[in-house]
């Protein structure tokens, strides 16, 4: 229980000691209510408030408590950061000698580290939590740490390590089971934990025995395969030795053939050598005569070729003149065609620019064309409007898909026309919902104009409803929510560009729409004060909004009459 709660209860006891029983009951119930509110307020501290409290803490005790609460707060949203804050709380607990918080902070840091995916660091911090909890008798932290260490060993498929941790847990439970401090229920719970841990040990021992048997089978299979490979290798070596011996015999035969050939050359007579030399000289003279005749024929061919070349040059000049003439005519024709194509390209460019401006604001479209991307921009005071049809499912069931789309297009086209009169930027449609905003880029920043557009949209839907009811046709009714605040706007993705806005102002405008009645315009307190003097209002007081708490809301009933 927090200090504030204890103070309130003590105050109740002091003030109701001498009062009647009925008044005591009333006072006690009121005190419980105040305690609940104080506790809720304390628990509802945001992460930013806890970080500020952590940094501004003047004592190690306060800093340790703030770090531990901050780690619990961030565990689900930012596990890595939660692990760091919890470990800082662990170090501070070691310094001030807070044994329970030392073990709890180590366990919390290990849980957050495991959630962030760092298994090795998580293991070391679980071991630290186990050591602290075992040494100081913190049974719940010790059992939790060993359970996580067993899970980490199971993930690594390390049966021996898992078995070792199970045996440590059994030993610890037996050591910490004495003293009778837990009573009968605590003793039975300890016995159940011991029985479960011992059953786990027997299961892990069986798995280890199976794994050992499988390892022996694998080793026996490996030895038999090794002997087969050695036998095959010896057979291959024997075959290679036989092949080498055969090659050596072939080399010896070739060497004997070469020696016998050399002996026959040496035995040739000098007369045979002279006859061969004479025949070689005659062949040389014949080759010289052939070369001279070839040179004469070459000179004759060169003169003929020169005459042919001159004729070809003259023909080439004539052909080139004809080609240049035709090229000149083709260039003129091509220039005319290019002029027509450029004109069509300019028209297509204007059409594409117009289409892009229908999708994106002018400044955003220009930046996208020049840089091929758009940087996100923050607008401190943008007014966001949500329009959502009520009973859309019932209307959709009564119309064919084609007619339903036609009716939606008719409604949204008129919405576009209305907001265009006030220079309001359409953001997108989401099913049967319509989102637009002012105060973006060069668009109108006056919240009063978007309120006027909302009233015109409701008037348009009211007239359409009356017309369709007279023909017995289904009709649309809509809720409108408006809020003013900071947003971030930009284009996301690299294909099918979509201009969108983000921020708490968008969410608040959606909550205004959800809390609105059909046919009405619901405005937040911020927008109300910015457009207060131009309209008639109906205050709704504080109304609960999803994830926002209690918010002041106002209905716009019409323009102020002067």
Question: What is the pLDDT, as a whole number, of residue 170?
Answer: 84
Question: What is the pLDDT, as a whole number, of residue 336?
Answer: 81
pLDDT digits (tens, 9 = 90+) for 433-454: 999 999 987 667 789 999 999 9
b/e 384-411 (16+ beta carbons within 10 angstroms → b): bbbbbbbebeebbeeeeeeebeebbeeb
Q: What is the CATH number of domain 3-209?
A: 1.25.40.10
Question: What is the pLDDT, as a whole number, of residue 8?
Answer: 43
List all residues 6 or more positions away from 55 whose beta carbon is below 8 Å from its beta carbon. Answer: none
Q: Read out DSSP for 196-223?
A: HHHHHHHHHHHHHHHHHHHHHHHHHHHH
b/e 83-120 (16+ beta carbons within 10 angstroms → b): bbbbbbbbebbbeeebeebbbbbbbbbbbbbbbbebee
Q: Read out DSSP for 107-120?
A: HHHHHHHHHHT-HH
pLDDT digits (tens, 9 = 90+) for 522-552: 999 999 999 999 999 999 999 999 999 999 9
Least confident of 15-19, 149-153, 374-378, 463-467: 15-19
Top-confidence residue, 12 or 269: 269
SS3 of 474, please?
coil
- Residue 420's pLDDT band, with cuts at 50, 70 and 90, is very high
Top-confidence residue, 559 or 218: 559
Looking at the chain, the number of H-run helices and the number of E-run strands are 17, 8
Q: Taking each helix axis as running N to C, give the angle between helix 79-96 and helix 119-136, from 0 to 180 degrees, rounded to the nearest 10.
A: 30
- Residue 179's pLDDT band, with cuts at 50, 70 and 90, is very low
Distance CA 319, CA 312 (A): 10
Domains in the chain: boundaries: 3-209, 374-559
Top-confidence residue, 192 or 15: 192
Question: What is the pLDDT, as a whole number, of residue 556?
Answer: 97
Top-confidence residue, 493 or 405: 405
Residue 558, phi then psi, degrees to nearest 5: 155, 175
Question: What is the pLDDT, as a whole number, of residue 496?
Answer: 66
Top-ranked range on mean pLDDT: pick from 6-10, 17-21, 122-126, 156-160: 122-126
Pairing of strands 477-492, 521-524: parallel
- Name the one residue in this structure whose structure tokens are 């997108």: 428
Question: What is the pLDDT, as a whole number, of residue 12?
Answer: 44
b/e 229-243 (16+ beta carbons within 10 angstroms → b): eeeeeeeeeeeeeee
- Residue 178's pLDDT band, with cuts at 50, 70 and 90, is very low
Residue 370 has pLDDT above 60, yes or no: yes
| Tally of CA atoms within 13 A in the half-sphere of 357 that contains its CB | 9
Residue 176, phi then psi, degrees to nearest 5: -90, 5
Mean pLDDT, the chain, integer: 80
Residue 511 has pLDDT above 90, yes or no: yes
Question: What is the pLDDT, as a whole number, of residue 195?
Answer: 66
Domain 374-559 has CATH 3.30.300.30: no
Q: Where are the alpha helices (DSSP H) in 360-503?
A: 362-371, 392-398, 401-420, 447-470
Least confident of 244-248, 320-324, 354-358: 354-358
**pLDDT (average), residues 59-72:** 91
Based on the number of CB atoms within 10 Å of its own CB, is 132 exposed (0-12), middle (13-18) or buried (19 or more)? buried
Question: What is the pLDDT, as a whole number, of residue 204?
Answer: 65
Pairing of strands 549-559, 535-545: antiparallel
**pLDDT (average), residues 239-260:** 73
Distance CA 476, CA 465 (A): 7
- Which candidate, 502, 546, 548, places its Cα nearest to that of 526? 548
């Amino acid at each position: 229980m927090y200090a504030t709660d204890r103070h309130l209860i003590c105050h109740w006891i002091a003030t109701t000691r001498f009062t009647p029983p009925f008044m005591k009951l009333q006072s006690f119930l009121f005190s419980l209510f105040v305690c609940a509110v104080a506790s809720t307020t304390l628990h509802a501290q945001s992460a930013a408030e806890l970080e500020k409290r952590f940094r501004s803490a003047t004592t190690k005790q306060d800093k340790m408590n703030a770090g531990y609460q901050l780690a619990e707060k961030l565990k689900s949203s930012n596990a890595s950061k939660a692990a760091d804050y919890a470990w800082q709380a662990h170090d501070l607990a070691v310094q001030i000698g807070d044994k329970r918080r030392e073990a709890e902070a180590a366990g919390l840091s290990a849980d957050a580290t495991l959630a962030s995916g760092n298994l090795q660091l998580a293991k070391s911090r679980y071991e630290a939590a186990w050591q602290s909890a075992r040494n100081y008798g913190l049974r719940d932290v010790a059992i939790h740490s060993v359970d996580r260490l067993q899970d980490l060993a199971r993930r690594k498929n390390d049966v021996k390590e898992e078995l070792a941790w199970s045996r440590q847990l059994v030993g610890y439970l037996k050591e910490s089971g004495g003293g009778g401090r837990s009573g009968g229920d605590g003793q039975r719970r300890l016995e159940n934990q011991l029985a479960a841990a011992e059953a786990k040990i027997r299961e892990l021992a069986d798995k280890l025995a199976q794994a050992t048997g499988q390892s022996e089978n694998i080793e026996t299979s490996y030895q038999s395969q090794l002997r087969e490979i050695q036998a095959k290798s010896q057979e291959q070596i024997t075959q290679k030795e036989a092949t080498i011996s055969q090659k050596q015999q072939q080399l010896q035969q070739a060497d004997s053939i070469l020696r016998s050939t050399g002996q026959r050359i040496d035995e040739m007579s000098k007369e045979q050598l002279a006859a061969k030399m004479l025949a070689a000289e005659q062949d040389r003279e014949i080759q010289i005569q052939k070369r001279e005749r070839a040179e004469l024929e070459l000179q004759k061919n060169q003169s003929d070729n020169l005459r042919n070349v001159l004729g070809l040059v003259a023909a080439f000049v004539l052909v080139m003149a004809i080609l240049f003439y035709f090229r000149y005519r083709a260039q003129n024709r091509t220039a005319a065609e290019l002029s027509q194509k450029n004109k069509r390209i300019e028209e297509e460019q204007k059409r594409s620019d117009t289409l892009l401006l229908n999708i994106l604001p002018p400044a955003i479209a220009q930046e996208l064309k020049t840089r091929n991307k758009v940087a996100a921009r923050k607008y401190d005071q943008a007014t966001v409007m949500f329009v959502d049809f009520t009973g859309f499912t019932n209307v959709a069931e009564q119309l064919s898909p084609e007619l339903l789309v036609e009716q939606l297009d008719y409604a949204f086209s008129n919405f576009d026309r209305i907001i265009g009169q006030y220079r309001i930027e359409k953001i997108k449609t989401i099913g049967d919902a319509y989102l637009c905003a002012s105060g973006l880029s060069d668009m109108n920043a006056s919240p009063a104009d978007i309120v006027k557009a909302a009233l015109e949209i409701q008037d348009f839907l009211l007239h359409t409803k009356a017309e369709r009811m007279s023909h017995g046709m289904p009709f649309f009714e809509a809720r409108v929510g408006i809020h003013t605040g900071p947003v971030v706007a930009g284009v996301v993705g690299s294909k099918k560009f979509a201009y969108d806005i983000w921020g708490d102002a968008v969410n608040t405008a959606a909550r205004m729409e959800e809390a609105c009645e059909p046919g009405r315009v619901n405005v937040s307190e911020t927008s109300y004060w910015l457009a207060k003097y131009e309209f008639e209002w109906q205050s709704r007081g504080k109304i609960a909004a999803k994830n926002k708490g209690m918010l002041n809301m106002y209905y716009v009933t019409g323009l102020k009459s002067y």
